[in-house]
Amino acid sequence: MFVRRIAVIGTGYVGLTTGACLASLGHEVVCADVDIQKIARLRHGDVPILEPGLTELVTEGLAAGRLKFVVGARNAIAPTELSDEPVEVVFLCVPTPMGTGGAADLTAVETVAREIRDLLPSGCVVVNKSTVPVGTAARTKQLLGRRDIAVVSNPEFLREGSAVHDFLNPDRIVVGCDQQDAAERVAALYSRLGAPTLLTDAASSEMVKYAANCFLAMKLSYVNAMAELCERLGANVHEVTEGMGYDRRIGQAFLKPGPGWGGSCLPKDTHALMQICDAAGLEFPLLKASLETNERQSGRMVDKIRTAVGGSLRGKRVGLLGLTFKAGTDDLRDSPALTVAEGLRAEGAELTAFDPGCPAAVPGLTDGIVVTDDPMAVAKDADAITVLTEWPEFRALDWPAMTKLAANPTVVDTRNLLDPAVLRRAGFSWVGVGRR
Contact residues: ligand UDX, CB under 6 A: 156-160, 213, 216, 220, 254-256, 258, 261-266, 325-326, 336
Q: Choose between 302 and 313: whose C-beta lies nearer to ligand UDX.
A: 302
Q: How far is the CB of 91 from ligand UDX (least distance, A)?
A: 15
Task: Give which of 95, 146, 36, 94 is closest to 264, Cα–Cα.
Answer: 95
CA 395 to CA 384: how far, in whole Å? 17
Q: How far is the CB of 217 from ligand UDX (least distance, A)?
A: 8
Please give the order of strands across the beta sheet that includes 369-372. Answer: 369-372, 350-354, 317-321, 384-387, 410-413, 429-431
Q: Choose between 140 and 416: whose C-beta lies nearer to ligand UDX.
A: 416
Q: Choose between 156 and 383: whose C-beta lies nearer to ligand UDX.
A: 156
Q: How far is the CB of 338 from ligand UDX (least distance, A)?
A: 11
Q: How far is the CB of 131 from ligand UDX (least distance, A)?
A: 8
Task: Give which of 87, 93, 89 is closest to 109, Cα–Cα.
Answer: 93
Q: Choose between 15 and 262: whose C-beta lies nearer to ligand UDX.
A: 262
Strands 317-321, 384-387: pairing kind: parallel
Q: How far is the CB of 256 from ligand UDX (least distance, A)?
A: 3
Long-range contacts for 75-79 (Cβ within 8 Å, ≥24 apart)?
75/30, 75/32, 76/7, 76/8, 76/9, 76/30, 76/31, 76/32, 77/7, 77/116, 77/119, 77/120, 78/119
Q: HSE of 378 in the Cβ direction (CA atoms, 13 Å)?
A: 27
Return the amino acid letter for 277. C
Instruction: Determine contact, residues 223/290, Cβ cutoff 8 Å.
Output: no
First to last CA, the chain: 56
Q: Choose between 173 and 406: whose C-beta lies nearer to ligand UDX.
A: 173
Which 3 state secondary structure label does DSSP give 302?
Answer: helix
Q: How far is the CB of 159 from ligand UDX (least distance, A)?
A: 4
Q: How far is the CB of 267 from ligand UDX (least distance, A)?
A: 9
Number of H helices, E strands in the chain: 16, 14
Q: Choose between 32 and 163: whose C-beta lies nearer to ligand UDX.
A: 163
* Known catalytic residue at 265: yes
Q: Choose between 325 and 430: whose C-beta lies nearer to ligand UDX.
A: 325
CA 375 to CA 65: how far, in whole Å? 42
Q: How far is the CB of 156 from ligand UDX (least distance, A)?
A: 5
Q: How far is CA 227 from CA 216, 233, 239, 349, 415, in A?
A: 17, 10, 11, 26, 11
Strands 429-431, 197-200: pairing kind: unpaired
Q: How far is the CB of 249 from ligand UDX (least distance, A)?
A: 17
CA 396 to CA 400: how far, in whole Å? 11
Return the amino acid letter for 352. T
With a CB cutoff of 8 Å and minimum separation 6, the contacts of 244 are: 250, 255
In DSSP terms, 317 is beta-bridged to 350
Q: Choose between 178 and 228: whose C-beta lies nearer to ligand UDX.
A: 228
Pick left, alpha or beta for residue 79 (phi over 0 → left; psi -120 to 50 → alpha; otherwise beta).
Answer: beta
Q: Closest CB to ligand UDX belongs to which residue?
A: 265
Say which of 21, 265, 277, 358 is annotated catalytic: 265
Let me know if 219 is exposed, middle or buried by CB neighbors in 10 A (0-12, 13-18, 19+). middle
98: phi then psi, degrees, rounded to nearest 5: -75, 125
Q: Choose between 20 and 255: whose C-beta lies nearer to ligand UDX.
A: 255
Q: Write out the catalytic residue numbers.
A: 265
